[in-house]
Amino acid sequence: MAGCGNMAAQVGAFLASLSFGYLVARTGNYNLPFIPMAILLAVGVGFWFIVDPTEPLTPAALTFPTSGSAFHESLT
């Protein structure tokens, strides 16, 4: 999971640097590329407040039993 998040961040950083250069070359304004970056930052802050880090990624019914569980011992 962490690897996918890291890859997505690297792809986003690459695309942001390309779009920053394109907008500056097209308009000659170095302040213009900061507007979409500020908007994306605000969206990220909004998601930060929505996500509950204490909630598991999968429901309890979908988790796999561990080696010390009663289910595992009933199979042996």
DSSP string, the chain: -HHHHHHHHHHHHHHHHHHHHHHHHHH--SSTTHHHHHHHHHHHHHHHHH--TTS-SS-GGGSPPPTTSHHHHHH-
At residue 70, the pLDDT reads: 57
Give per-residue pLDDT as tens, 17-53. Answer: 899 999 999 999 999 989 988 998 999 999 999 988 8
More confident position, 39 or 72: 39
What value does the mean pLDDT take over residues 56-76?
61
